[in-house]
């Protein structure tokens, strides 16, 4: 009681003292007065260095000298109201008005000591609120106040290891009086809240040390230091409370979004410890050694103290990433994760579900992390060297496998999840399967069913990678079912195990790099892919075949059995002569030495036996004569390209038969691709040479029930290729087909009727100029330069007009496609949505739909800037706007639609849009506007990365198109107003109305 009384008295005294000092400061006219006032208080609390006393008027009346007394004073000062009150004055008034005048030493030893020498717990609580104390009305200079507070915080917390001190103080409290323990929890949480909020409260201009990155780095280091200290000295009492404080700090740091920073410090720390432990145990790792290890226990408790599930998740996630970055081995990683999380996982269902559900099904980690996750949370036993090890308890594995498999098998999952995640989950499923036995698989019937379902729905996907996933899983599955009879769905893959990392995840990465190319490139990559897609993994087959053919070549080149006879090499002719010499006298002996030439014979050149298309068609019909069909396919393109007259009549038939030929039936294994390619080339040639006839057939075949999906795809592929070729043919055609002279031979190619002494051949001058110039044939030749003559031009000509020779002698054929555009596009678009026998584009045959849309896009591009494009664009856009098409669940179709929409944007001539607007045809504007909104929508929400990037480039094209159109619109408007005559009449007020309400929006909307 007396103690309490004396304390009270002390406090009153202190408050009085502080009050005096405050009023002195308030009244101060000179800095010395302020210093002395502050000093008077400081003297009570700290052993102040007398040299700092600058003011002379120090009242020496109250000089507590005893150390004990001073600590009493100090305790009372900081615990009570005195400190907050005085701090307020120090931080506001002194800091803003006087501090800049303080000498450096005074500031350091007198002013700062109030904050640095006191208990951090209290100081921080006082300091932090002033960080953003902005009182507009007061006369205080906010800037200097805040700068000062920031400086003090840095000094207090970071440079003087404030957090470390703080935990000591907390421990002291804890030990000091247990009655306060009830208050401790809220205090700790308040403290941690204050500590972690500092970077947020700090101003933008605050020193870099207070920026969240550096600040939390320091704080984290201090926290780690604390943990280490606690691990080394085992004072159990306060440890728990300290650890819970640290845990609270961790969770708050994670909440602030700095889990990466936190774990980038924590992970190496723990990892180093784990490595140390592993090394000391020389490989023989037992759970006990970790369980008993004090550091591990400290960590366990700390992480257990992190009660916020969000923080736990973030920490675990970052831990995995950090371990990956640190190149931890499987064993090290396992023990690191184990050290931090095993108790959480065991005791908290939510944490467990983070690992088993979230990390497996929702997040995407590198495959190595996936292995750790599986090992830790599913297999639940330490790994053996670097392979996944299976414990005794397999229930978890079974359940997880079942869960993954059921997710994996769903078609919607395939459609709605980005490729990376698909690859990730596929790998997870594969790794799970790897660790299962047949009996275990049999126990869960669903798994088998789900896997088969998933494989089958993936195998018909157009994406190479998706098919690869299917084949990988199928392989793993077959390995579980029957290890001796492995199922290879993929030709290129022949190994015994699958490297999930390189097979799937890096491949996904590869896809990313390709699709980031621009729109134009996109079209090309797509088509190059389209052919291969059509052929069902032909690329790989091609590789294989290349390998084969190379082998053959090598074999031929290095025939080990061949006998090299040097004599024959060197004196072959001589021996011949000798031979014949001798033969005159005695023929028998001589003949023996006739040296044979190389007798190697192959039948490469014998393929071209068909010389008439009719024969080819006939041969193709005889499907039982595989050789004949093959040969016919091989020559078909050449014959078609020759474009004989008969082609017109048989083009339709021919196209139909080419579509129906089954390349796989007629060719030997491994040769299908070349035949397939030849067949497609022939079809392309047919489409190019006789578009109308062959298109009629192809379009009728396209939706007929007696072709299958692959044939439909092939037809569409071929059509797009043909469209491209038609659009790009810029062949140089000689206008006159030069008739060769009647008689010629190889040594002298020059016609007889030309001067024979010419050193260079004569050429007829081709002239197609006006009629009167063309009265006679003229010939020209190049003269060889005389010695010493300067070459001025390359040739000399004697002709009246030689300037236009290049133009007249050759015929630049231009884009021929627009003529046929309608024939290409309209029939295919007409009934695409009709569900017929064997045809269901909107549903099952989405690949065909994608191809169709892509083909239409290609057609648009090929017809671009031609009037036909404008005519066809509307109907194409109509088709694209169908909800079933543009919002198709398959990304493949959406990609195609984006491509087609972009093609439309490219293909439309701005002037056409202008004229459409001028005519009041707003349908087009609406359709174009739809493209924009839809592309925006895709860019916003599509899960497919390709779709996203394509949508972006589509938007870009849209913007360009809008710009061009608005320019054209302006110029058209200007013309209409300036020019006289019919123009003015034909563009009535509508145009001005149009521009007035359309133009502002057209920049954005069109």
Whole-number Å distance between alpha carbons of 727 and 387: 56
Single out the residue of 924, 919, 920 nearest to residue 962, CA to CA: 924
Give the number of residues written for the chain.
1006
Q: Least Å distance between CB 571 and other proteins?
A: 12
Whole-number Å distance between alpha carbons of 602 and 579: 30
Answer whether 632's CB lies under 8 Å from 620's CB. yes
Residue from 9, 62, 134, 594 binding other proteins (CB under 8 A): 594
**Only segment of 444-452, 585-593, 865-873, 946-954 that touches other proteins (CB under 8 A):** 585-593
Please give the structure tokens belonging to residue 200: 């947020």
E strands, 777-917, where?
Answer: 779-781, 810-812
**Only segment of 324-332, 600-608, 689-697, 715-723 that touches other proteins (CB under 8 A):** 600-608
Single out the residue of 184, 290, 295, 289 nearest to residue 234, CA to CA: 295
Q: Least Å distance between CB 418 and other proteins?
A: 56
Identity of the residue, 742 or 980, whose beta carbon is nearer to other proteins in the bound complex = 742
> Is 744 near other proteins (CB under 8 A)?
yes
**Largest alpha-carbon pair distance within the chain?**
152
Identity of the residue, 178 or 568, whose beta carbon is nearer to other proteins in the bound complex = 568
> Is 587 near other proteins (CB under 8 A)?
yes
Q: Least Å distance between CB 596 and other proteins?
A: 4
> Is 586 near other proteins (CB under 8 A)?
no
Identity of the residue, 556 or 732, whose beta carbon is nearer to other proteins in the bound complex = 556
Q: Least Å distance between CB 754 and other proteins?
A: 15
**Only segment of 136-144, 701-709, 738-746, 969-977 that touches other proteins (CB under 8 A):** 738-746
**CA dist 843 → 450, 499, 822 (Å):** 22, 35, 26
Residue from 137, 279, 485, 745 binding other proteins (CB under 8 A): 745
H-state helical runs in 622-728 = 626-642, 646-660, 663-666, 672-689, 691-702, 709-728
Residue from 189, 402, 406, 583 binding other proteins (CB under 8 A): 583
**Only segment of 182-190, 283-291, 571-579, 898-906 that touches other proteins (CB under 8 A):** 571-579
Residue from 9, 134, 591, 943 binding other proteins (CB under 8 A): 591
> Is 597 near other proteins (CB under 8 A)?
yes
> Is 738 near other proteins (CB under 8 A)?
no
Residue from 4, 349, 746, 791 binding other proteins (CB under 8 A): 746
Residue from 65, 563, 668, 776 binding other proteins (CB under 8 A): 563
Residue from 11, 536, 576, 840 binding other proteins (CB under 8 A): 576
**CA dist 323 → 237, 286, 332, 389 (Å):** 33, 21, 9, 19
Question: φ, ψ for residue 758 (rounded to 5)?
Answer: -70, 140
Residue from 4, 584, 980, 985 binding other proteins (CB under 8 A): 584
> Is 592 near other proteins (CB under 8 A)?
yes
- Do the strands 779-781 and 762-764 form a parallel or antiparallel pair, or are they unpaired? antiparallel
Whole-number Å distance between alpha carbons of 206 and 226: 27
> Is 574 near other proteins (CB under 8 A)?
no
Question: φ, ψ for residue 810 (rounded to 5)?
Answer: -125, 160
Q: Least Å distance between CB 591 and other proteins?
A: 4
Residue from 51, 494, 513, 588 binding other proteins (CB under 8 A): 588
Residue from 4, 66, 349, 564 binding other proteins (CB under 8 A): 564
Residues between 601 and 640 that touch other proteins (CB under 8 A): 601, 603, 605-606, 608
> Is 923 near other proteins (CB under 8 A)?
no
Answer whether 889's CB lies under 8 Å from 839's CB. no
Q: Least Å distance between CB 545 and other proteins?
A: 24
> Is 577 near other proteins (CB under 8 A)?
yes
> Is 743 near other proteins (CB under 8 A)?
yes
**Only segment of 306-314, 574-582, 803-811, 993-1001 that touches other proteins (CB under 8 A):** 574-582
Answer whether 313's CB lies under 8 Å from 354's CB. yes
DSSP one-letter code for 516:
T
**Only segment of 19-27, 475-483, 570-578, 934-942 that touches other proteins (CB under 8 A):** 570-578
76 C-beta neighbours (distance < 10 Å), count: 22
Identity of the residue, 567 or 626, whose beta carbon is nearer to other proteins in the bound complex = 567
Torsion angle, alpha carbons of 983, 987, 993, 997, to 10: -80
Whole-number Å distance between alpha carbons of 29 and 801: 106
Whole-number Å distance between alpha carbons of 42 and 113: 8
Binding track over 64-103 against other proteins, x by CB under 8 A: ----------------------------------------
Identity of the residue, 2 or 600, whose beta carbon is nearer to other proteins in the bound complex = 600
DSSP one-letter code for 706:
T
Q: Least Å distance between CB 625 and other proteins?
A: 17
**CA dist 220 → 150, 264, 340, 353 (Å):** 19, 10, 16, 27
Answer whether 35's CB lies under 8 Å from 55's CB. yes
> Is 516 near other proteins (CB under 8 A)?
no
Q: Least Å distance between CB 631 and other proteins?
A: 14
Q: Least Å distance between CB 689 and other proteins?
A: 23
DSSP one-letter code for 342:
H
Whole-number Å distance between alpha carbons of 298 and 301: 5
Please give the structure tokens belonging to residue 449: 């069913």
Whole-number Å distance between alpha carbons of 840 and 832: 8
Identity of the residue, 179 or 588, whose beta carbon is nearer to other proteins in the bound complex = 588
> Is 753 near other proteins (CB under 8 A)?
no
Residues between 279 and 338 that touch other proteins (CB under 8 A): none
Beta bridge partners of 265: none
Identity of the residue, 200 or 587, whose beta carbon is nearer to other proteins in the bound complex = 587
Identity of the residue, 204 or 599, whose beta carbon is nearer to other proteins in the bound complex = 599
Identity of the residue, 288 or 598, whose beta carbon is nearer to other proteins in the bound complex = 598
Identity of the residue, 442 or 565, whose beta carbon is nearer to other proteins in the bound complex = 565
- Total number of residues binding other proteins (CB under 8 A)? 38
**Only segment of 49-57, 66-74, 231-239, 573-581 that touches other proteins (CB under 8 A):** 573-581
Question: φ, ψ for residue 387 (rounded to 5)?
Answer: -115, 160
Answer whether 20's CB lies under 8 Å from 38's CB. no
Identity of the residue, 280 or 592, whose beta carbon is nearer to other proteins in the bound complex = 592
Q: Least Å distance between CB 552 and other proteins?
A: 15
**CA dist 671 → 376, 712, 714, 836 (Å):** 48, 22, 18, 34
Identity of the residue, 601 or 645, whose beta carbon is nearer to other proteins in the bound complex = 601
**CA dist 225 → 117, 172, 545, 621 (Å):** 21, 18, 63, 85
134 C-beta neighbours (distance < 10 Å), count: 12
> Is 756 near other proteins (CB under 8 A)?
no
Answer whether 465's CB lies under 8 Å from 430's CB. no
Whole-number Å distance between alpha carbons of 715 and 704: 12
Answer whether 682's CB lies under 8 Å from 638's CB. no
Identity of the residue, 579 or 833, whose beta carbon is nearer to other proteins in the bound complex = 579
Single out the residue of 106, 240, 261 nearest to residue 184, CA to CA: 240
Residue from 135, 235, 446, 565 binding other proteins (CB under 8 A): 565
* Residues at the interface with other proteins (CB under 8 A): 562-565, 568-569, 572, 576-577, 579-581, 583-584, 587-588, 590-592, 594-601, 603, 605-606, 608, 742-748
């Amino acid at each position: 009681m007396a103690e309490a009384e004396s304390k009270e008295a002390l406090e009153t005294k202190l408050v009085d003292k502080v009050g005096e000092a405050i009023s002195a400061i308030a009244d101060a006219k000179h800095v010395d007065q302020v210093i002395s006032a502050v000093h008077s208080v400081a003297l009570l609390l700290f052993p102040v260095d007398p040299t700092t006393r600058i003011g002379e008027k120090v009242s020496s009346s109250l000089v507590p000298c005893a150390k004990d007394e001073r600590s009493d004073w100090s305790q009372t000062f900081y615990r009570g109201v005195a400190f907050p009150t005085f701090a307020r004055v120090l931080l506001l008034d002194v800091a803003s008005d006087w501090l800049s005048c303080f000498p450096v030493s005074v500031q350091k030893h007198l002013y700062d000591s109030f904050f640095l020498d006191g208990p951090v717990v209290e100081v921080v609580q006082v300091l932090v609120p002033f960080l953003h104390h902005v009182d507009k009305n007061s006369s205080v200079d906010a800037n200097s106040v805040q700068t000062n507070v920031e400086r003090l915080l840095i000094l207090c917390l970071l440079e003087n290891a404030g957090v470390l001190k703080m935990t000591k103080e907390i421990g002291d409290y804890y030990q000091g009086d247990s009655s306060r323990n009830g208050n401790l929890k809220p205090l700790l949480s308040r403290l941690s809240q204050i500590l972690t909020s500092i970077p947020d409260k700090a101003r933008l201009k605050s020193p870099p040390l207070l920026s969240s990155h550096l600040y939390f780095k320091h704080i984290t280091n201090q926290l780690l230091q604390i943990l280490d200290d606690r691990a080394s000295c085992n004072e159990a009492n306060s440890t728990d409370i300290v650890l819970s404080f640290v845990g609270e700090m961790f969770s708050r740091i994670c909440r602030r979004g700095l889990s990466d920073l936190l774990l980038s410090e924590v992970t190496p720390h723990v990892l180093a410890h784990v490595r140390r432990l592993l090394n000391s145990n020389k490989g023989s790792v037992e759970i006990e050694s970790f369980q008993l290890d004090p550091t591990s226990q400290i960590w366990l408790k700390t992480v257990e103290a992190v009660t916020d599930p969000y923080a736990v998740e973030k920490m675990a996630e970052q831990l995995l990433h950090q371990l990956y970055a640190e190149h931890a081995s499987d064993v090290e990683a396992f023990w690191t994760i184990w050290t931090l999380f095993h108790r959480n996982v065991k005791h908290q269902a939510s944490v467990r579900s983070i690992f088993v559900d979230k990390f497996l099904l929702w997040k995407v980690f590198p495959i190595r992390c996936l292995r750790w996750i599986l090992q830790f949370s599913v297999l639940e036993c330490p790994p053996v060297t670097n392979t996944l090890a299976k414990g005794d308890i397999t229930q978890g594995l079974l359940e997880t496998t079942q869960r993954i498999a059921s997710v994996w098998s769903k078609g919607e999952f395939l459609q709605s999840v980005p490729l990376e995640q698909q690859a990730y989950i596929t790998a997870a499923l594969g790794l799970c399967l790897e660790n299962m036995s047949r009996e275990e698989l049999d126990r869960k019937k669903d798994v088998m069913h789900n896997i088969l379902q998933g494989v089958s729905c993936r195998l018909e996907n157009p994406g190479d990678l998706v098919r690869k996933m299917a084949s990988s899983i199928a392989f793993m599955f077959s390995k579980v079912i029957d290890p001796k009879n492995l199922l290879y769905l993929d030709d290129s893959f022949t190994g015994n195990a699958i490297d999930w990392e390189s097979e799937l995840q890096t491949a996904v990465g590869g896809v990313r790099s390709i699709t980031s190319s621009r729109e134009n490139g996109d079209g090309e990559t797509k088509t190059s892919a389209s052919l291969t897609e059509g052929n069902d993994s032909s690329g790989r087959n091609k590789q294989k075949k290349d390998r084969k053919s190379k082998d053959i070549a090598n074999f031929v080149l290095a025939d080990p059995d061949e006998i090299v006879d040097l004599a024959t090499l060197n004196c072959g002719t001589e021996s011949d002569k000798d031979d014949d010499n001798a033969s005159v006298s005695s023929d028998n002996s001589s003949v023996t030495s006739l040296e044979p030439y190389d007798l190697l014979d192959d039948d490469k050149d014998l393929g071209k036996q068909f010389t008439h298309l009719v024969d080819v068609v006939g041969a193709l019909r005889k499907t039982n004569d595989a050789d004949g069909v093959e040969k016919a396919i091989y020559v078909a393109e050449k014959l078609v390209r020759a474009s004989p007259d008969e082609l017109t009549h048989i083009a339709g038939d021919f196209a139909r038969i080419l579509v129906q030929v089954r390349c796989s039936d007629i060719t030997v294994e491994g040769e299908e691709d070349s035949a397939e390619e030849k067949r497609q080339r022939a079809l392309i040639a047919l489409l190019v040479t006789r578009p109308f006839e062959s298109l009629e057939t192809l379009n009728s075949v396209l939706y007929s029930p007696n072709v299958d999906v692959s044939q439909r795809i092939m037809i569409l592929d071929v059509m797009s290729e043909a469209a491209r070729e038609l659009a790009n043919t810029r062949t140089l055609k000689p206008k006159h087909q030069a008739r060769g002279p009647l008689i010629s031979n190889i040594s002298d190619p020059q016609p007889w009727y030309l001067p024979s002494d010419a050193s260079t051949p004569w050429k007829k001058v081709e002239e197609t100029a006006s009629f009167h110039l063309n009265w006679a044939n003229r010939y020209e030749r190049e003269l060889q330069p005389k010695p010493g003559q300067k070459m001025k031009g390359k040739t000399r000509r004697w002709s009246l007009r030689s300037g236009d020779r290049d133009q007249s002698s050759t015929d630049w054929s231009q884009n021929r496609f627009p003529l046929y555009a309608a024939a290409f596009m309209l029939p295919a678009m007409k009934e695409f949505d009709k569900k017929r026998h064997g045809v269901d584009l909107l549903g099952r045959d989405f690949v065909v739909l994608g191809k169709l849309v892509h083909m239409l896009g290609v057609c648009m591009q090929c017809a671009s800037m031609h009037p036909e494009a404008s005519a066809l664009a509307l109907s194409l856009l109509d088709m694209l706007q169908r909800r079933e098409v543009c919002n198709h669940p398959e990304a493949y179709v959406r990609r195609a639609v984006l491509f087609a929409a972009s093609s439309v944007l490219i293909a439309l001539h701005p002037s056409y849009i202008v004229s459409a607007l001028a005519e009041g045809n707003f349908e087009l504007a609406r359709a174009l506007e739809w493209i924009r909104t839809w592309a925006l929508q895709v860019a916003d929400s599509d899960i497919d990365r390709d779709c996203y990037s394509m949508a972006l480039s589509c938007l870009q094209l849209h913007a360009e198109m809008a710009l061009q159109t608005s320019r054209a619109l302006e110029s058209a408007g200007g013309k209409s107003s300036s020019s006289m005559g019919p123009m003015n009449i034909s563009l009535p007020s509508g145009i001005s109305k149009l521009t007035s309400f359309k133009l502002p929006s057209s920049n954005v909307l069109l």
